[in-house]
Amino acid sequence: MLTQTSDWFPSDLNNQLTQPERMTPYPKKLIEVALPLAEINDASAYDKMPGIGPHPKGIHHWWARLPLPVARAVLFASVVDDPESHPEKWPTEEAQNVERERLFGILRKMMAKKLHEAPEVYAEAHAELMHHCDGHLPTVFDPFAGGGSIPLEANRLGFETHAGDLNPVAVVLNKCNLELAPRWAGCSPVNPADRQRIGGAESWLGAHGLAADVRHYGKVIRARAQAQIGHLYPNMPLSKEHGGGDAKIIAWIWARTVVSPNPAAQGKHVPLISTYWLSSKKGALAWLEPVVDKETGNYWFKVRTGLPNDLTAISAGTKMSKGGFRCLLTDAPITFEHIRSEGQRGRLGSTMLAIVAEAPQGRIYVNATPEQVRTAQSATPSGYPDTNLPEEALGFRIQNYGIRKHWEMFTPRQLTAMVTLSDLVKGIGVDVERDGLVAGLSPQEAVSYSRSVMTFLALALSRFADNNNNLCRWRAPNPALINLFARQAIPMVWDFCEGNSLGEAIGSWQVCVEREAACISVLIVGNEAPGFVKQIDAANAVNGIANLLVSTDPPYYDNIGYAALSDFFYVWLRRSIGSLYPELFGTLLVPKQPELIASPERFGGDKQKAKEHFEVGFRKAFAALREKMDSRFPLSVYYAFKQDDEESGGAEETGEAGIDLTTGWETLLDALVSSGFQITATWPVRASQAWRMRAMGSNALASYIVLACRPRCANADMTTRRDCVAVIKRQLPSAVRQLQRENIAPVDLAQAAIGPGMSVFSQYATVLEANGAPMSVRSALLEINRVLDEVMAEQEGDLDADTRFCVAWFEQYGIAERAYGEAEVLFIAKNTSFAGLEKAGVIIGGKGKVRLRRREELDPHWDPRTDDRVTDWKCTQHLVRVMTAEQGGGASEAARLVNAVGPARAENARALAYRLFTAAERKGWAEEALAYNILVTSWPQIQAATVKVEPDGPAQSRLPL
Ligand SMILES: C[S@@+](CC[C@H](N)C(=O)[O-])C[C@H]1O[C@@H](n2cnc3c(N)ncnc32)[C@H](O)[C@@H]1O
């Protein structure tokens, strides 16, 4: 467990408290004291993984969705009192720990996988929450609801929930979660096929009935689409080589073409192919062989199987290593500039490269045929939305290549399918309504139910659009179609994949409906309280309701352009179900202007104006929220440092001790402080699958920081920088030590320390610099960094002399060799000697040079029991050595060492790992920093293993944590 003992009402300092510190009219909540962060991290990372089965995230795509477990944990911990707040019940620290452990027990259960299958866990959490609120849960409000993780979990925990978002797409999907699915919970399906089934595998609990209807009417739509446009999706006649007969087509692989810049090619179009691989999967290799007729200038592609002679050439396609492509006919380079210029004149074409099909013997790759090309070209779509892409927008690249309309993101056949399916979704309401009446619904219910089914089918159409556009890729290593929004941007795709819309493989309407239905079926856990969803501009109108528990994940400065990205879905939702929600779909495109994003494109390229728009809106939003909050509960705010996509914004400037001062982060803190909040805790949450290892390399920031905030009291003091820093210095060290005692990952320490530090800074109405100007958040963060540095350095006092030398040397030179003279000064300063350090086996010298021994040079058979110069440095390095060993080693080996050196030295080694991590990170030695991080994060396993290996070694007491 991790605690934050920063004292926004410190118990040990009562006499020195400033006025705001003394005023704490409410008990601290768990989130303001401690969280089982490791379990929350693991559960959140799992939740983010693709392919974990039906999940509410599959209802509709949203960019950078918050993982459900962290949303759940934060809500729970914002309501549940920390035992420290009730000394009358738990008078001792020990008793408080026992009670906290009990609360953690509930939280840990809440972190289980597939929690929708464990309604009893939600029920237990709900009961605990009720207990902390005298039987009346507060109303939860999320004004930036987006993909809906926070409201959904609030609703499942039994809170009345209000969700708002500016974006109509987000509003619709939240409506599905909070209004539509719960409205029909426990109802049987109305379609005649399922209605006849009595007591089948599905008992129509939760949203299973609704899911069954979505599945059924989705099939009806497919059959109708087949009748209307089935001719565009013919089967593939197979050659004898492939066993004859017909194969069902899975996908067509296309490449864009551009006129060759080389006059020798006589104006022919040539393909832009990023790889010739169709399948690079072991045992199923398939690739394209280009065949060029130099005389006629014609070319085509043969599908080949087996291992190609020249792997590099196959991987490269017609790409050039230096960037750009090469002309297939003449080898002339094709620059991006040429492609852009042709694209903007509307002169890019496309050519079919190959076909993927399902033959009786399994998946096959076959040559494109003129019939298949002709069929694709015969589609003549009409009636599609004719809307413009933004001229420029965050993450959009395609406009550079002449794609300026949303419909241009589809091939004619894809567009025909979109229009057809959209019409059929629009028309299916009549069938549902009719069947609903037959099934016994009242006329009003039948209309309402048909609208719900249509809405979910429209969401399935969104999924279909994501999988059915000319920016989808074909993935060769594990062959499959990749949807457009596998990334949170719209980059250009040269060779794209067109799935068979009426087929049965990934990307088809059938699969999209099936997935939608599966996700609907896991929406309801049976504990839901009423939910309400509204389109709002959080900066201008929040909500009429007061006494709210606010938990929210606001926009990330300039990280994701939600409004521009979501137009892709909006135009089709509007076309299909716009008439059902006229208040949401009044505009041609998603409203852009009020969106809180620092997007210079919206301000004629003016960065400053964009920043101001974001900052002003943010402050207004939080100031309004402050007025609406139930004073018993802290506001919880998420800040996403880094999103899944590599393209998302990174750090701009790194503070001295590792707190990244991105503009977004600073803006958020600033907005909170200036709108009257005091930050009472900060929790780094890792939602990356590899959080324990790779992702925790030196510069790997947590995915999210969760902040707990309280309204600052109205009569808060003003203070000077000097006094504020003095309080930070007084309070931060114990908070940092506490975090270390509780084994926070070194990589997370700086971010977690912001909580206790900012808690001090933000308790004051104003902190004045010597010149009378207000101290900025940035200065406060830098000050917190500095104090953190000092805390690290102070820990040196506990180390032995040899170690003090090694640490100082490492901090300066790492493991580089330096002149003996430089070392000599340090030997004296640290009260040790070359001979002693050499004997200890931690240093190597010769020819007037000195350096630290590398870990791989340490004695692999080191036995501390026979070593008469054991040092903290050596213990740390050996522990890191065994924990990072590629072979052997591991927690049991580390436990053996720990048992041999004893708990005190082991504890020193762990503490030293924090310091060495910071030093390595500061120098940019990523691998080295990672190694120390691994040691600390593995400590619980080592601790567990010490018990097991005890019989082997000289019994020592159990390793403390
Ligand atoms: C980071 S996202 C929320 C993600 C969400 N927690 C999830 O799990 O998907 C931020 C949201 O703020 C919304 N937003 C942006 N400006 C807004 C405004 N002025 N008022 C309300 N919502 C806004 C965006 O549409 C976006 O959905």
599 CA distance to ligand 1 middle (Å): 15
592 CA distance to ligand 1 middle (Å): 12
553 CA distance to ligand 1 middle (Å): 7
pLDDT given at position 948: 66
Main-chain dihedrals φ then ψ at residue 238, nearest 5 degrees: -100, 145
Query: Mean per-residue pLDDT for 316-320?
Result: 94
Q: Does any ligand 1 atom lie closer than 6 A to the CB of residue 637?
A: no
Structure tokens at 570: 């909006």
Closest CA to 466 of 562, 376, 538, 568: 568
The residues, ordered by sequence, that sit 6+ positions from 851 with a Cβ below 8 Å of its Cβ are 813, 815, 816, 817, 818, 843, 844, 845
Query: Mean per-residue pLDDT for 250-269?
Result: 96
pLDDT given at position 766: 92
Count CB atoms within 10 A of the CB of residue 253. 24
Which pLDDT band holds residue 697 (cuts at 50, 70, 90)?
very low
555 CA distance to ligand 1 middle (Å): 5
Please determine, for residue 580, whether its predicted confidence score (pLDDT) is greater than 60: yes
Which pLDDT band holds residue 198 (cuts at 50, 70, 90)?
low
pLDDT given at position 952: 47
Nearest-angstrom CA–CA distance, 19 and 9: 10
Cα 909–Cα 911–Cα 912 angle in degrees, nearest 5: 60
Closest CA to 836 of 823, 848, 818, 847: 823
Query: Mean per-residue pLDDT for 551-577?
Result: 94
Which pLDDT band holds residue 796 (cuts at 50, 70, 90)?
low
Please determine, for residue 815, whether its predicted confidence score (pLDDT) is greater than 50: yes
In whole angstroms, how far apart are CA 821 and each of 676, 808, 818, 850?
A: 56, 15, 8, 9
Main-chain dihedrals φ then ψ at residue 366, nearest 5 degrees: -130, 160
Nearest CA residue ID for atom 27, ligand 1: 146
- Interior/surface letters 723-749, b for 16+ CB within 10 angstroms, e for the rest: ebbebbbbbbbbbbebbbebbbbbbbb
Q: Does any ligand 1 atom lie closer than 6 A to the CB of residue 539?
A: yes
411 CA distance to ligand 1 middle (Å): 31
80-89, 601-610, 871-880: range with lowest mean pLDDT: 601-610
167 CA distance to ligand 1 middle (Å): 7
Nearest-angstrom CA–CA distance, 84 and 99: 9
- Give the amino acid at 481: L
CB burial of residue 924 (10 Å; 0-12, 13-18, 19+):
exposed
Could you tell me how many residues make up the chain? 961
Give the pairing of strands 718-720 and 766-768: parallel
Pocket perturbation via mutation, ligand 1, pick of 488, 542, 589, 595 by most ligand atoms within 8 A of CB:
595
464 CA distance to ligand 1 middle (Å): 23
Whether residue 834 contacts residue 845, with contact meaning beta carbons closer than 8 Å, is answered with: yes
Task: Annotate 645-680 with DSSP letters as a single string.
Answer: STTS---S-B-TTS-B--HHHHHHHHHHHHTTEEEE
Q: Does any ligand 1 atom lie closer than 6 A to the CB of residue 505?
A: no
Structure tokens at 438: 């037959």
| Atom in ligand 1 nearest the alpha carbon of residue 146 | 27
Please determine, for residue 900, whether its predicted confidence score (pLDDT) is greater than 60: yes
pLDDT given at position 5: 46
pLDDT per position as a tens digit, 356-400:
999 988 899 999 999 999 999 999 999 999 999 998 887 788 999
Query: Mean per-residue pLDDT for 323-333?
Result: 95
The residues, ordered by sequence, that sit 6+ positions from 798 with a Cβ below 8 Å of its Cβ are 908, 911
pLDDT per position as a tens digit, 12-68:
333 333 434 444 567 999 999 989 988 998 899 899 888 899 999 999 999 989 999
Please determine, for residue 552, whether its predicted confidence score (pLDDT) is greater than 70: yes
The partner residues of 495 in beta bridges, in order of sequence, read 255
pLDDT given at position 527: 85
Angle separating helix axes 93-110 and 119-131, nearest 10 degrees: 140
Q: Does any ligand 1 atom lie closer than 6 A to the CB of residue 165?
A: yes
Pocket perturbation via mutation, ligand 1, pick of 47, 57, 70, 144 by most ligand atoms within 8 A of CB:
144
Whether residue 278 contacts residue 354, with contact meaning beta carbons closer than 8 Å, is answered with: yes
pLDDT per position as a tens digit, 150-187:
999 999 999 999 999 999 999 999 999 999 999 999 99
Query: Mean per-residue pLDDT for 82-94?
Result: 95
Query: Mean per-residue pLDDT for 84-105?
Result: 95
Q: Does any ligand 1 atom lie closer than 6 A to the CB of residue 561?
A: no
Nearest-angstrom CA–CA distance, 938 and 935: 5
Whether residue 57 contacts residue 65, with contact meaning beta carbons closer than 8 Å, is answered with: yes
pLDDT per position as a tens digit, 931-948:
998 899 888 889 888 876
301: part of which helix (H) or strand (E)?
A: strand 298-305
Query: Mean per-residue pLDDT for 407-430?
Result: 98
567 CA distance to ligand 1 middle (Å): 15
Please determine, for residue 121, whether its predicted confidence score (pLDDT) is greater than 50: yes
| Atom in ligand 1 nearest the alpha carbon of residue 617 | 19
Cα 951–Cα 954–Cα 956 angle in degrees, nearest 5: 90
Average pLDDT, the chain: 88
Which pLDDT band holds residue 203 (cuts at 50, 70, 90)?
confident
Query: Mean per-residue pLDDT for 238-252?
Result: 87
pLDDT given at position 831: 84
Query: Mean per-residue pLDDT for 429-456?
Result: 97
Q: Does any ligand 1 atom lie closer than 6 A to the CB of residue 595?
A: yes
Residue with tokens 């002449």: 402
pLDDT given at position 677: 94
pLDDT given at position 955: 35
Please determine, for residue 412, whether its predicted confidence score (pLDDT) is greater than 50: yes
Task: Annotate 557-574 with DSSP letters as a single string.
Answer: TTS--HHHHHHHHHHHHH
- Give the amino acid at 785: N
Q: Does any ligand 1 atom lie closer than 6 A to the CB of residue 704?
A: no
Whether residue 879 contacts residue 909, with contact meaning beta carbons closer than 8 Å, is answered with: yes
Greater confidence, 418 or 543? 418
The partner residues of 248 in beta bridges, in order of sequence, read 358
Handedness of CA 509, 49, 398, 319 (dihedral sign): negative
In whole angstroms, how far apart are CA 872 and each of 42, 690, 801, 932, 943?
A: 31, 29, 9, 14, 18
Greater confidence, 886 or 387? 387
Angle separating helix axes 746-761 and 663-674, nearest 10 degrees: 30
Handedness of CA 507, 511, 512, 516 (dihedral sign): negative
pLDDT given at position 4: 55
Structure tokens at 594: 């009020």
Q: Does any ligand 1 atom lie closer than 6 A to the CB of residue 167?
A: yes
pLDDT given at position 259: 97
pLDDT given at position 242: 76
341-350, 498-507, 575-584, 834-843: range with lowest mean pLDDT: 834-843
pLDDT given at position 16: 37
Q: Does any ligand 1 atom lie closer than 6 A to the CB of residue 152?
A: no
CB burial of residue 583 (10 Å; 0-12, 13-18, 19+):
exposed
Cα 653–Cα 656–Cα 661 angle in degrees, nearest 5: 35
Structure tokens at 210: 């609704």
Q: Does any ligand 1 atom lie closer than 6 A to the CB of residue 639?
A: no
pLDDT given at position 540: 86
Nearest-angstrom CA–CA distance, 446 and 433: 5
Nearest-angstrom CA–CA distance, 310 and 289: 11
Q: Does any ligand 1 atom lie closer than 6 A to the CB of residue 564?
A: no
Beta strand extents in 503-634 (DSSP E only): 531-535, 548-552
Q: Does any ligand 1 atom lie closer than 6 A to the CB of residue 594?
A: yes
Q: Does any ligand 1 atom lie closer than 6 A to the CB of residue 537?
A: yes
Closest CA to 353 of 450, 253, 426: 253
- Give the amino acid at 284: A
138-147, 674-683, 881-890: range with lowest mean pLDDT: 881-890
In whole angstroms, how far apart are CA 782 and each of 757, 765, 779?
A: 10, 19, 5
Nearest-angstrom CA–CA distance, 673 and 780: 12
- Please state, for a pLDDT cut of 90, what percent of the chain lies above it: 65
| Atom in ligand 1 nearest the alpha carbon of residue 560 | 1
38 CA distance to ligand 1 middle (Å): 27
pLDDT given at position 274: 95
Nearest-angstrom CA–CA distance, 844 and 928: 19
Structure tokens at 315: 């991987």
pLDDT given at position 959: 37
